[in-house]
Amino acid sequence: MKPSLVEYEKIFKKKAAPIEIQIKPQRIPVQQIDNYHFFFNVFSIIIVISGIIILYNRKRNKEKNKLLQTQRIIQLYHDTNKK
């Protein structure tokens, strides 16, 4: 009896040659710094500080302004009631 020859290509598939994987260097995305929030915060702090200064000056001058206004009212009363 003669052995029959087997075609190994039909039974077993050939292993594919390993594909060379090309590693591309990863590009790190450059983030642009957004200065909008920084400037907005600085501007807000300046507004708050200037508001505090204005309120402090109003408090300091309150009595002086009150006295000045009462004097004007008294002067107006005397001017209008002259006979």
* Mean pLDDT per 10-residue segment, the chain (83 residues): 70 74 81 86 97 95 93 92 71
Predicted pLDDT at 3: 67
The pTM of the full predicted model, rounded to 2 decimals, is: 0.48
Predicted pLDDT at 19: 78
Predicted pLDDT at 25: 82
C-alpha triplet 23, 26, 28: angle, nearest 5°? 175
Alpha-carbon distance of 28 to 71, in angstroms, equals: 73
